[in-house]
Chain A
């Protein structure tokens, strides 16, 4: 070991100790929320009953609720949170826009359109009963294509318009336009197809089949892997296209990689859980402020942990523990996310175009 390694100027060692501690706390929180999410719900069980159900499935009512309902839902929440948050982080960096996120810029809507085309358009020859077995992969891939198309569209717009707020407004218009198209498609489709689509749009964390959960886990894991590969590229892209090129980044190649990653993550979630708002835009800001860094080596894993934790927490809140009724998870994520977004807008006004 070189003796110089202990020079006091080694500021990086000092700050990384703090970073490790924050990672540890976040992981602990994620675990805590995950356990709470299984223990709490509209039906109250004694902790002992829950543990017994997890260890030994006897087929009793308690066990069914825990194993068939609460456990998959908590796992879904983690993967949904991770997927939306990383896609938000990547979009914010690649568009250099603090307001970017899969929901606000219409990427989730693009994914819905992909799904709508499959269900309302192509499934006319398939009986609605078969829709669930139509192939979760077909559904998810069409969502990726829909999400990717919107990503390319926004890239095209951002290369012309530099104003962050203008892009945001265009994104909202895009999302509204896409829902209009979906409405028109609904108007012209027959009753059975419509019913199948409406059931899909009511999708939430809860009614996802075990087959769909498998597809979701595989897709989001692939997305996470791609996001880790893209860490160095994201750091270079913070400087903007010109500087990134000048330090040797192949901007076009990294865009293809990051766009695919974002589309897979945001698309998969939308395909099975419907559009879930404000997690993608808010979580990256939360983790930037927790870790106080712009370095994606910290931000990508940090966003994974924060995103998972925030989503599971939203799920706990949506069940209104002990009350017997359940809120739509989308309203909980909105209530958590919107204050963060407003805070970012106000801060951005002060710092003129910072992200």
Chain B
């Protein structure tokens, strides 16, 4: 029997959906304290509905959600708000609301009848703003923030809410690459402080590389496990059953099915070999184990070039772009 004393959130045969029309079979999964759990699944499969049901925004159609072993149905609104914080994809648009005001609302479950901010409350708000890297921007209006800053402010708000569990629906949607990684890094930092984060995402890379656990919703079932476990059990293979895209279990990514042109031998090593392989794969050549004619020599030194050795001649290329253009031509000649 595994040790499950650390399980902070358990969903047990949970039926989700609207008006007794459940699309998914009863779902069961769990999350341990301090874990980052990514929910993956196609659009419209019920990721948001699952998160809303855990948050108590939507009644379940059966089954249980347990926090610290206690069923959330016995929690009052305020009690639940002290356990779980929630960020959806809905953007808060309020004029004249500062970051400070927004974060202060995270203290809602703790303040008195009028929402008075005493010194201790102020300190918590201040710390939450500092932790999300927004120090100095307290008086900025949320309507003037960039997408990344706004998402930080929303995270500061649920930090002020002081909950063990943070639920985030697509926290990196709308963000540019830099902000995306900043937010994920921030989330990682929070889990190392003991927060449990359950988030849905479409970013497969982030899920595979950053999550401790994945709840994969596919068909009508939920499969859970470490990203690597799911790769090894072929769980992702049929996630996007399609003629265009296929899952590559070697590096855990989805790739286009390219037109296969043949095999080609690549001589060389290091990072330049890695990206040469990638480039040739992209145009349809898989690396061969034995020497082929023609074959490619990867540049060894800084000033060397890519050499394409053919039967009698060989030509040098200054960039992979030039090499790939040439190989496409060669292929045309051969076929």
Q: Which residues of A contact B (CB under 8 A)?
A: 2, 4-5, 9-12, 15, 98, 228-229, 231-232, 235-236, 238-240, 242-243, 245-250, 288-289, 291-295, 297, 351-355
Contacts and interface: CB of A to CB of B under 8 A. Distances in A.
Contacts of A236: 105, 108
10 contacts: A4-B119, A232-B113, A232-B115, A238-B92, A242-B57, A247-B108, A247-B161, A248-B77, A288-B95, A293-B97
A248 B77 CA distance: 4
Contacts of B97: 238, 293-294
B101 A294 contact: yes
A331 to B, nearest CB: 29
Given A12-B122, A235-B105, A243-B86, A248 B100 contact: no
B111 interface: yes
Nearest to A231: B114
B122 A10 contact: yes
A98 B94 CA distance: 10
Contacts of B245: none
A12 B117 contact: yes
A256 to B, nearest CB: 15
Contact of A231 (B56, B76, B95, B115): B115
Contacts of B55: 246
Contact of A292 (B80, B96, B105, B122): B96
B96 A294 contact: yes
B93 A353 contact: yes
A128 B139 CA distance: 59
A12 B100 contact: yes
A5 B57 CA distance: 38
Contact of A247 (B52, B81, B119): B81
Interface centre among B79, B105, B106, B113 (most CB of A within 10 A): B105
A-B pairs, 5 with minimum CB distance: A248-B81, A246-B86, A294-B97, A248-B78, A247-B108
Interface string B273-311: 000000000000000000000000000000000000000
B138 interface: yes
B100 A355 contact: no
B115 A354 contact: no
Interface of B: 52, 55-57, 76-82, 84-86, 88, 90, 92-98, 100-101, 105-106, 108-109, 111, 113-115, 117, 119, 122, 126, 138-139, 143, 161
B109 A247 contact: yes
Contacts of A243: 86, 88, 90, 92
B108 A232 contact: yes
A142 B88 CA distance: 42
B109 A240 contact: no
A12 B124 CA distance: 13
A236 B115 CA distance: 10
Contacts of A247: 81, 105-106, 108-109, 161
A351 to B, nearest CB: 6
A243 to B, nearest CB: 7
Nearest to B93: A354
A228 B114 CA distance: 8
B90 A5 contact: no
A340 to B, nearest CB: 14
Nearest to B78: A248
A354 B90 contact: no
B114 A2 contact: no
Given A289-B96, A293-B101, 10 more contacts: A5-B119, A232-B111, A235-B105, A235-B108, A238-B105, A240-B92, A242-B88, A248-B81, A292-B96, A355-B94
B139 A15 contact: yes
A2 B119 contact: yes
Nearest to B122: A12
B88 A288 contact: no
A351 B95 contact: yes
A82 B57 CA distance: 35
Given A10-B122, A354-B93, A355-B93, A249 B88 contact: no
Given A231-B114, A243-B88, A294 B94 contact: yes
B115 A235 contact: yes
A288 B113 CA distance: 22
A9 B94 contact: no
A354 B95 CA distance: 6
Nearest to A232: B115
Best-buried of A9, A235, A248, A295 by chain B (most CB within 10 Å): A248
A98 B96 CA distance: 12
Nearest to B167: A246
A249 B139 contact: no
B169 to A, nearest CB: 10
B105 A248 contact: no
A11 B96 contact: no
Contacts of B88: 242-243
Contact of B56 (A245, A291, A352): A245
A294 B57 contact: no
Nearest to A344: B95
A297 B119 contact: no
B81 A246 contact: yes
A293 B93 contact: no
Contacts of A293: 96-98, 101
